[in-house]
Amino acid sequence: MFRSLRHIQVMSRRSYSDSLAKYPFLKELGITSSVNQGVYDGKSWKANGEIIESVNPSTGEPIASIQQGNVQDFHRCTAAAHEAYGTWSDLPAPKRGEIVRQIGDALREKLIPLGKLVSLEMGKILPEGIGEVQEFIDICDYAVGLSRTYSGSILPSERPGHVLLEAWNPLGVVGIISAFNFPVAVYGWNAAIALTVGNTVLWKGAPSTSLVSIATNRIVSSVLEKNSIPGAVASLCTGGADVGEAMSSSEKISLVSFTGSTHVGQQVGTTVQGRFGKHLLELGGNNAIIVNEDADLNLVQQCLVFACCGTAGQRCTTTRRLFLHKKVYDQVLGSLVKSYSTVLTRTGDPLDEKTLYGPLHSEAGVRGYLATVEEIVGQGGKIEFGGKKIDRPGNFVEPTIVTGLPVDSRVVHRETFAPIVYVFSFDSLDEAVAANNSVKQGLSSSIFTRDIGNLFKWIGPKGSDCGLINVNIPTNGAEIGGAFGGEKHTGGGRESGSDAWKQYCRRSTVTINHGRDVTLAQGIKFE
């Protein structure tokens, strides 16, 4: 059910020792040259599953080995998390918020080394790796305030001597399945909020970023241990499809938060719904930017490159479709091609501060990119820039700009997790909005315009149908203060800020008779 990423078989201990010598921050994070245990049940780090190897996507070289969890490990962690829930949920919310605050502080102390590990293992450039850890820190800060402010409601009753309350209580154990492209932040969005409202969490990160999962969970568990809180409040079980399937099927997991592909997310949702559990799905995106004829083209130029090829096109919010008004089409396209040429000169090691463009995360990603380029050419598309694998070690491909395809092309409507953007010309804004909404995904969208009428049309009922609607900014780079998520085949789930905390709670309407008489609702007499 879950896709397993391919890993090289374990090589010599010497290779891992070389990695530790080359990357001293690994030791600082508790990563060793021996087999790193990928399961934490709150008491010990002990796994019983397959031994895999973490690979540096920019070189293809091994970093370290990990022993993953198996289904038995998952059930052990689930039982421990369920037991820890009793202790954790009894703590007053502000006390839980204080623990989450300390988690944020512990992450601050490891900001640079953990950010470097994200860049090393995932492949995103260093500012993005550090920025991702900062996002976990920021959501911890946000959660501290939430711990003193999240609340229910008092509602008027139609009956004398009665009052209606709306109460929000934690669900129990929240299972978090995160993807390789944001191996820290997605866990942080979920865990910080879920913990604050009283749940315990069990995390299964992507197999190919298991070192990040282990290092992050070690930081979190150190805070729990320091405060004599059961470690299983935040447990970890790395693993493959079998662990993901067990999490989706287990009735002891009250909510499954899944981030990944639409195909797998649909299976997760069906499995969880089959047992009447709750799910939170953050799935694919096929995001578009509309550049209207009245747009500030200086703003457009500043935003487009990061929107289209930041993180080598591996953000769920990456811009994959670009709609340019016919009056600005040639100018914007020409500028984008020129900018891509500059980006290509700054391709390299993600840990090098001068690097602007890193590798795809996996060889499978490269194969998908090349297959899509072949399909584009076969359908009559024109490659304006890129379209090839870069001749160097690692998973590097050229950022790619495509023109000449119909808006409704099959390849355009399918999300390819790579730096490929399809460019189209339009005559009217209505035409562009309809094209934006024509795909099955509904995550992020943006318009560049200086017309206030266009702006309000874009954010209104006949505008963008996405969960994230932007004006004069890229489709990517959402802030933690708003609810993050999308519509349609993106899954409908919401994480992070605003009232997304309600996803992690059960909602109860409480009716209290504080008078001396019994009055039935709707004026019913039963005498």
Per-residue model confidence (pLDDT) at position 76 = 99
Helix/strand/coil percent split, the chain, to 5:
40, 20, 40
The strand pairing partners of 401, in sequence order, are 385, 421
- Mean pLDDT for the stretch of residues 146-154: 97
Candidate list 282, 398, 415, 495, residue with the active-site label: 282
Read off the pLDDT of residues 324-369 as tens digits, 9 standing for 90 and up: 999 999 999 999 999 999 999 999 999 999 999 999 999 999 999 9
C-beta separation of 399 from 390 below 8 A: no
What is the SS3 string spanning 276-320?
CCEEEEECCCCEEEEECCCCCHHHHHHHHHHHHHHHHHCCCCCEE
**pLDDT score of 7 more than 60:** no
Q: Would residue 282 show up in a list of annotated catalytic residues for this protein?
A: yes
**pLDDT score of 9 more than 50:** no
Domains of the chain in sequence order: 13-283+494-506 (3.40.605.10), 287-480 (3.40.309.10)
What is the SS3 string spanning 332-382?
HHHHHHHHHHHHHCCECCCCCCCCCECCCCCHHHHHHHHHHHHHHHHCCCE
- Mean pLDDT for the stretch of residues 464-488: 98
Report which DSSP code applies to 3: P
Per-residue model confidence (pLDDT) at position 26 = 98
**pLDDT score of 14 more than 80:** no
Pick from 435, 441, 379: which is nearest to 408 by CA?
Answer: 435
CA–CA dist 217, 211 (Å, integer): 10
- Please give the distance of CA 251 from its chain centroid, rounded to a whole number: 24
Read off the pLDDT of residues 198-228 as tens digits, 9 standing for 90 and up: 999 999 999 999 999 999 999 999 999 999 9
371 CB-near residues (< 8 Å, 6+ apart): none
Pick from 114, 139, 109, 414: which is nearest to 262 by CA?
Answer: 414
Residue with the bigger pLDDT between 526 and 402: it is 402
CA–CA dist 458, 348 (Å, integer): 38
Per-residue model confidence (pLDDT) at position 10 = 43
Pick from 121, 17, 110: which is nearest to 60 by CA?
Answer: 121
CA–CA dist 99, 226 (Å, integer): 10
**pLDDT score of 240 more than 90:** yes
**pLDDT score of 8 more than 60:** no
Q: Determine the number of helices (DSSP H) and then strands (DSSP E) in the chain.
A: 16, 23
C-beta separation of 204 from 243 below 8 A: yes
